[in-house]
Amino acid sequence: MKYSIFSLARAALSGHKNWQRTWRDASPKGRYDVVIIGGGGHGLATAWFLASEFGIRNVAVLEKGWIGSGNAGRNTTIIRSNYGLPGNTGFYELSMRLWERMEQDLNYNAMVSQRGVINLYHSDAQRDAYARRGNTMRINGIDAELLDLAAVKKMMPFLNFDNARFPVQGGLLQRRGGTARHDAVVWGYAHAASELGVDIIQNCEVTGFTRDANGKVTGVETSRGRIGAGKVGMAVAGSTSRVAAMAGLRLPIESHVLQAFVSEAIKPLLPNVMTFGAGHFYVSQSDKGGLVFGGDIDGYNSYAQRGNLPVMEDVCEGGMALIPMIGRVRLLRQWGGIMDMSMDGTPIIDKSPVEGLYLNAGWCYGGFKATPGSGLVFAHLLARDESHQEAARFRLDRFQRGAMIDEKGQGAQPNLH
Amino acid sequence: MRIVCPFCGERELGEFTYLGDAKPQRPAPVAGEDAVYEYVYLRDNIAGSMSEHWYHGGGCRAWLKVTRNTLTHEISAVAPAAGAGAAKVGA
Ligand SMILES: Cc1cc2nc3c(=O)[nH]c(=O)nc-3n(C[C@H](O)[C@H](O)[C@H](O)COP(=O)(O)OP(=O)(O)OC[C@H]3O[C@@H](n4cnc5c(N)ncnc54)[C@H](O)[C@@H]3O)c2cc1C
Ligand SMILES: [Zn+2]
């Protein structure tokens, strides 16, 4: 179905009781040209780009739970393209441009809100680093503005400007950054992909791979039977190591938990997305009024989908240091998601060493903003068997070649970045 | 999560720092680049019982070997890691 002012009016006149299901809940066929494992934002976006951009429509997305039950539905919804290293800069801007036209492309309201992302700085050295990053962005055609203290005070008068230890000195602002409604992104891609013939199959867990005599992957074993495939793409976020192990692969990835927090709803306070440069704290306000915030990963391997208290305390301390008044707001909800932490903090989009199996992995805590870009470049790889030019540095062998992309400059350890 | 340090007793998680999987062994200098690549970057990333290194920086400052279930956070064993900490208890 197509959404328009008329479909909205029609639905309103019938008391909003006749909205149709937006995508088909398909059952598996025997074989597909491409099987995507994982019905998160990345898997569904890949399927949509395969169908819409590359004309490959005999595609299935297999999801062990329900679509969006993974990190696609657990993140803090921040989108931005303020990266400084070659590889990242171009890729995240490609993704940002796709966010800007996503709703038209998908005919779905994903509530993309370009309210701005500001990273505050608190020292001369940090200002210089942000100035450099902003310049890198602008050289690459990405918007960036370095704000001084007066400009930040005008924009966010409620910050703690009297903090002797971490005085706010200014910030790097990307006005085109912001947030998007994470569930709507999943549903939008599912809606649009399904319209083009893609089968979205829920409650279908991949439990193994079928291989031919040469070791090439020929399909998958699932909780709903065997499904043949010309090619298999993995987009399983925090489960990458476990699924890859079924094909005998060991990867430069660890699974870690990241927590998120939401406060009770308050009147509009935050004009944008804001990060505290002296600690690790980022916050935005949802359209319902809740403050949505987070900080560091818990710092040790975990598949438990729940966090621990020290990080919660640390995040709340960061929030209090920056916006003292949030100490009066009650915390409503907290949860954790399992993320694929790559060893340099950067994704891996590549053919795997096993023929017929393709990797889309290692998105760490920043993969939501990558959703449309990831879908496009992964579809490109699956369709053409070569990397998209904006993903050419995200190869698996970069660790062996010494060509890591360590945006934070912290070294080969997931709990450092 | 709380860790029972063999030297200090039961302490809260905030006192400890995580290093990671205790399994990878530093290869000999002559082992070649592939061995170093494996050691530095590749991980089993186990879903289940895993043996890992933790540092008790907020206490005795010893390195510990902790056996923990990554699916439940349940800790089944804590022992001094080989080296300085282990020497203290003669392990
Ligand atoms: C608390 C938190 C906050 C975050 N905040 C942000 C943010 O503000 N901005 C940002 O850019 N990023 C953020 N991220 C990161 C981002 O959410 C992830 O990097 C991104 O969502 C990963 O891609 P995905 O959406 O496809 O993954 P997922 O939605 O996790 O999709 C993977 C899917 O694979 C399925 N699956 C796994 N194994 C199998 C199997 N064997 N068979 C079938 N299906 C399987 C899972 O059920 C899951 O649905 C955050 C993450 C967390 C946890
Ligand atoms: Zn101790």
User: A272 CB contacts (<8 Å, ≥6 apart)?
Assistant: A115, A116, A117, A118, A155, A173, A178, A284
Residue B82's pLDDT band (cuts 50, 70, 90): confident
Taking residues B69-84, report their average pLDDT: 91
Taking the CA atoms of A60, A61, A65 and A67 in sequence, report the sign of the dihedral they define. negative
Which ligand is located closest to the Cα atom of residue A302?
Answer: 1
Which residue in this structure is represented by tokens 């934002």?
A: A41
B43 to A400: CB separation less than 8 angstroms, yes or no: no
pTM, entire model: 0.96
Residue A196 neighbours by CB under 8 Å, 6+ apart:
A48, A51, A52, A57
pLDDT digits (tens, 9 = 90+) for B32-73: 999 999 999 999 999 999 999 999 999 999 999 999 999 999
Please answer yes or no on whether B44 and A250 come within 8 Å at the CB atom. yes
Any idea which residue has 């947030």 for tokens? A179
Closest residue to atom 2 of ligand 1, CA basis: A75
Distance set, CA B4 to CA A240, A261, B10, B15 (Å): 31, 29, 4, 11
pLDDT the model gives residue A291: 97
Q: Is A88 helix (H, G, I), strand (E, B) or coil?
A: helix
Q: Give the ligand at the shortest distance from the Cα of B11.
A: 2
B14 vs A contacts (CB less than 8 Å): 310, 313
Q: Are A112 and A99 in contact (CB under 8 A)?
A: yes
Distance A73 CA to ligand 1 centre (A): 7
Beta bridge partners of A232: A35, A357
With DSSP H G I counted as helix, E B as strand and the rest as coil, what are the percentages for chain A, rounded to 5? 30, 25, 40
Residue of A nearest to B18 (CA): A300
Question: What is the reported pLDDT for B91?
Answer: 43
B-chain CB neighbours of A397 within 8 Å are: none
CA B83 and chain centroid, separation: 12
What residues does the ion ligand 2 have nearby, CB within 5 Å?
B 5, 7-8, 56, 59-60
Long-range contact pairs involving B65-73 (C-beta distance under 8 Å, separation at least 24): B65/B22, B66/B3, B68/A300, B70/A255, B70/A301, B70/A302, B70/A303, B70/A304, B70/B46, B71/A303, B71/A304, B71/B47, B72/A304, B73/A302, B73/A304, B73/A308, B73/B1
**What confidence score (pLDDT) does residue A417 get?**
67
Residues present in chain A in total: 417
What distance in Å separates the CA atoms of residue A143 and residue A191, rounded to the nearest whole number?
31
List, in sequence order, every residue forming a beta bridge with B64; answer none if it has no partner: B54, B80
Q: Alpha carbon of A409 to those of A176, A344, A368, A412, A417: distances in Å?
A: 25, 9, 22, 9, 8
Q: Give which of A263, A264, A240, A205 is closest to A65, Cα–Cα.
A: A205
Average confidence (pLDDT) per 10 residues, chain A, 417 residues: 88 88 93 98 98 98 97 96 96 98 96 98 96 97 98 97 93 98 97 97 98 98 98 98 98 97 96 94 96 96 93 95 95 96 96 98 96 98 98 96 89 76
Q: What are the phi and psi torsion angles at A188 (to 5°)?
A: -65, -45
Put simply, the answer to whether B40 touches A309 (Cβ < 8 Å) is: no
Give residues 288 to 307 of A whose Cβ lies within 8 Å of B: 299-304
Q: What is the mean pLDDT of chain B?
A: 91
Whole-angstrom distance, CA of residue A258 vs CA of residue A345: 14
Query: In angstroms, what CA-CA distances link A35 with A29, A62, A343?
Result: 11, 7, 27
Distance separating alpha carbons of residues A120 and A276, to the nearest angstrom:
6
| Contact residues for A125 (Cβ-Cβ < 8 A; gap 6+) | none
Q: Give CA–CA dist A360/A374, Å, rounded.
A: 8
Cβ neighbors of A370 (< 8 A, separation 6 or more) are A42, A91, A92, A95, A347, A363
Query: Which residue from A71, A291, A407 has its CB within 8 A of the most atoms of ligand 1, so it is best to mutate?
Result: A71
